[in-house]
Amino acid sequence: MGVKSHIRNITTILFPTAPKQKVPITPKQPAKSDAELKNRILVGTHHKTGTVWLMSVFRRICREFGLTFYVGETPTPPRDFDVFFRCDSHFDVGQIQSPYKGLHIIRDPRDMIVSGCFYHQQSKEEWLHIKQDRFGGLTYQEKINSYQSLDDQILFEMEHVAQQCIQQILAWDFDDPAFFEVQYEDLISDEQLVLFHAIFAFLGFPGKAMPQVLKIAFENSVFSGNFKRTSHIRSGKKRQWEEHFNAHHKARFLEIFGDALQRLGYENSDAWADETPARTIQVTPANDVRRLRLAA
């Protein structure tokens, strides 16, 4: 199976009832000359890599400057877009006739697993509530919540949706010069907006628009203090896996993903799996899943 076919299968499994194409965000005013773009913009994320966060940033920018913003589940963008956002980073760039620049974000796969585990237990996303034969007629959410320990829930997430999303990242072409590559961990701590500035400059925003787009990025980021914790954003902090991964999780991760962390720039070797984290959480009858959720 080719890479593109594999990605399409992953998207179908993860979002079996995803809409074909969402309508564009209507600009609040005619386009301003100081935000005129010489190229189209593609923004690619992956599940639990800051999708809602970046969507809020680029949606707000488009509204502010009168740009057309599309969010779609089909890889082919419409003809009349300025910013095209995809939550699986699958773009049919051969269908784009105009020059384009893109942003692609990834996250430490171990944190994707932990974040997804907590999120999928309580999210209202439609695909989580579809009965599935492979789970004996249970939905994904019912299945993950059927496990009594957080350890087992993390393992289930690792072997299912998180695995599909991480494989999706590994299939990405990181050598494509049209895309600015960024790690979630760097962007979430970019309080001085140095990285955001580099991203917006790469994407083609002119200098006179830079103060406003940076202001929007700051106001819509966790570090501004304005962003409320939601089901999508539980904490946003780095290396959450250290609090939740045990030896079995680490061994299973290496079995499934091999050298993925080295390939993505998160580790230099597999030595992390032998290290004892500074903080651990013991899952006991007195420290059950519900209490862990409240503490996370």
Query: Is the model's pLDDT at 288 over the cut of 80?
Result: no
Provide the phi-psi class of 63: left if phi over 0, else alpha when psi is between -120 and 50, else beta: alpha
Separation between Cα atoms, residue 225 and residue 136, nearest integer Å: 43
In this prediction the pTM is 0.83
Q: Where are the domains of the chain?
A: 3-108+170-224, 109-167+236-295
CATH of segment(s) 3-108+170-224: 3.40.50
- DSSP, res 172: S
Separation between Cα atoms, residue 168 and residue 17, nearest integer Å: 19
Query: Is the model's pLDDT at 134 over the cut of 80?
Result: yes
Give alpha helix (H) positions in 67-175.
109-120, 140-145, 150-159, 161-170
Query: Is the model's pLDDT at 2 over the cut of 50?
Result: no
Separation between Cα atoms, residue 237 and residue 35, nearest integer Å: 32
Separation between Cα atoms, residue 3 and residue 266, nearest integer Å: 23
Q: Express each pLDDT in 192-211 by its tens digit.
A: 999 999 999 999 999 999 99
258 phi/psi in degrees, rounded to 5: 55, -125
Separation between Cα atoms, residue 104 and residue 174, nearest integer Å: 9
Q: Express each pLDDT in 230-254 by its tens digit.
A: 544 545 678 999 999 999 999 999 9
